[in-house]
C-alpha cells in the first residue's frame, strides 16, 4: 500500500498532528509534502522575476484551479471551496463532504493609501489569484459596495506574490488570507474589508475513504490543541513562509489561522456555490462541469 501523501497548506493542523503523533496514532502511513515556493531556487526565481517586473505586474493565469487540471501529487489537498467545488464537478477528484475550513481573509492597502472604505476601491486594481480563493471572495466582498463592472481585478499570482506586490508598491490593493493576512496586519497595512474564505479538500481517484477519515480524526485532535492555546504552535508557521517573508515578521504574534469545521459540506453549499460561480462567468462554459452533488462529493450527505 502506498503512503498517504498530505500537502501542507500554510496552516498549523498538519504540523501539530505530525509532531504529536496523531497521524501515527490513527494508523495512517503518511508523508507530508510542501510546495516548491520555499526552496533556494524559488527565492532566486523571485529575485529574477522581481527584476523583470520593474514597474508592472503581468497577469498570472496559473491559479488553484489549474493545479487541479494538471493534477496534484497528493492523497488529499486543499484549496478554496469555490475551486474545489468546480474541480469536483468537472471530475478532477472528489470534494470531501465531511469537513471544511474557514480562514481569516481581507483586502489590504498600504498604510499610505488614501483608500479608507470599500467604495473607494471601485475601479482600483485589487490583486488576486486567478480562479483561486482571492478571486471569488473579492467579488463576493465588494458586490455590496459597488456595481459588478466597477470591481477591477488584477491577477497577480499566489498569496506570496501578492505580499511581494503590496510590499513593493506594485499593488494598490490585494486580497490575502491566513499567514499572509497576518503578515500584512503585522507590517501595518490597512485592512479595508474582511471577506469570506472557505476551504475544502479534494481527493483523487483511488484514495481509501477510511484513510481520509484517519487523517481528519488526527486533525480534529490538532484543532482542539489550537483552540485551547494556539500560541504553543505558531512556530510552525515558519515552516510555511518563504525566507524573505519570515525575516520580516514575528510568527509568535500570528493568530490561530485556518479553522477546520467538522460538519458536512452539504448539498446546499455545493449547489449554491456552483451557481454563484456560474452566474458571474468566472469559468468559460466548456470548463463548467456537470457533476451533481452525489457524483462530485465523497461521502455526500
Q: What is the DSSP letter of 76?
A: B
pLDDT of residue 291: 81
199 contacts: CB under 8 Å, gap ≥ 6: 9, 78, 79, 80, 81, 84, 100, 101, 102, 103, 133, 258
Q: Model confidence over 239-278: pLDDT tens digits?
A: 999 999 999 999 999 999 999 999 999 999 999 999 999 9
Residue 164 has a pLDDT of 97
Which of 103, 105, 121, 142 has the alpha carbon at shortest distance from 280? 142
- Looking at the whole model, is its pTM more than 0.85? yes
pLDDT digits over 5-28, tens only?
Answer: 998 999 999 999 999 999 999 999
Q: Quick one: average pLDDT of 132-160?
A: 97
Domains of the chain plus CATH, in order, are 4-298 (3.40.190.290)
Helix (H, G, I), strand (E, B) or coil at 263: coil
Q: How far apart are CA 287 and CA 280, in angstroms?
A: 14
Find, among 178, 220, 196, the residue nearest to 13 by Cα. Answer: 220
φ/ψ (deg, to 5) at 23: -65, -45
Amino acid at each position: 500500500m502506498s503512503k498517504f501523501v498530505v500537502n501542507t497548506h500554510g496552516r498549523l493542523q498538519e504540523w501539530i498532528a505530525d509532531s504529536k503523533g496523531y497521524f501515527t496514532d490513527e494508523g495512517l502511513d503518511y508523508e507530508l509534502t510542501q510546495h516548491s515556493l520555499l526552496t533556494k531556487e524559488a527565492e532566486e526565481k523571485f529575485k529574477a522575476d522581481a527584476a523583470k517586473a520593474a514597474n508592472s505586474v503581468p497577469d498570472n493565469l496559473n491559479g488553484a484551479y489549474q493545479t487541479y487540471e494538471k493534477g496534484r501529487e497528493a492523497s488529499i489537498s486543499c484549496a478554496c471551496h469555490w475551486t474545489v467545488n468546480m474541480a469536483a464537478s468537472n471530475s478532477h477528484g472528489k470534494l470531501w463532504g465531511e469537513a471544511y475550513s474557514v480562514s481569516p481573509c481581507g483586502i489590504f492597502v498600504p498604510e499610505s493609501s488614501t483608500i479608507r472604505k470599500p467604495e473607494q476601491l471601485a475601479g482600483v486594481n485589487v490583486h488576486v489569484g486567478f480562479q483561486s480563493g482571492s478571486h471569488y471572495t473579492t467579488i463576493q466582498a465588494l458586490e455590496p459596495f459597488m456595481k459588478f463592472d466597477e470591481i477591477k481585478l488584477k491577477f497577480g499570482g499566489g498569496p506570496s506574490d501578492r505580499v511581494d506586490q503590496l510590499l513593493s508598491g506594485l499593488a494598490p490593493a490585494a486580497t490575502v488570507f491566513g499567514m499572509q493576512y497576518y503578515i500584512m496586519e503585522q507590517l501595518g497595512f490597512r485592512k479595508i474589508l474582511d471577506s469570506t474564505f472557505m476551504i475544502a479538500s479534494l481527493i483523487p481517484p483511488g484514495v481509501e475513504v477510511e484513510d481520509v477519515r484517519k487523517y481528519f480524526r488526527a486533525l480534529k485532535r490538532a484543532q482542539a490543541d489550537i483552540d485551547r492555546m494556539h500560541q504553543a504552535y505558531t512556530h510552525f508557521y515558519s515552516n510555511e513562509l518563504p525566507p524573505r517573508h519570515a525575516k520580516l515578521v514575528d510568527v509568535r504574534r500570528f493568530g490561530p489561522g485556518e479553522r477546520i469545521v467538522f460538519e458536512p459540506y452539504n448539498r446546499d453549499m455545493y449547489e449554491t456555490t456552483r451557481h454563484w460561480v456560474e452566474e458571474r462567468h468566472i469559468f468559460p462554459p466548456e470548463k463548467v462541469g456537470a457533476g451533481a452533488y452525489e457524483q462530485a462529493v465523497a461521502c455526500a450527505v
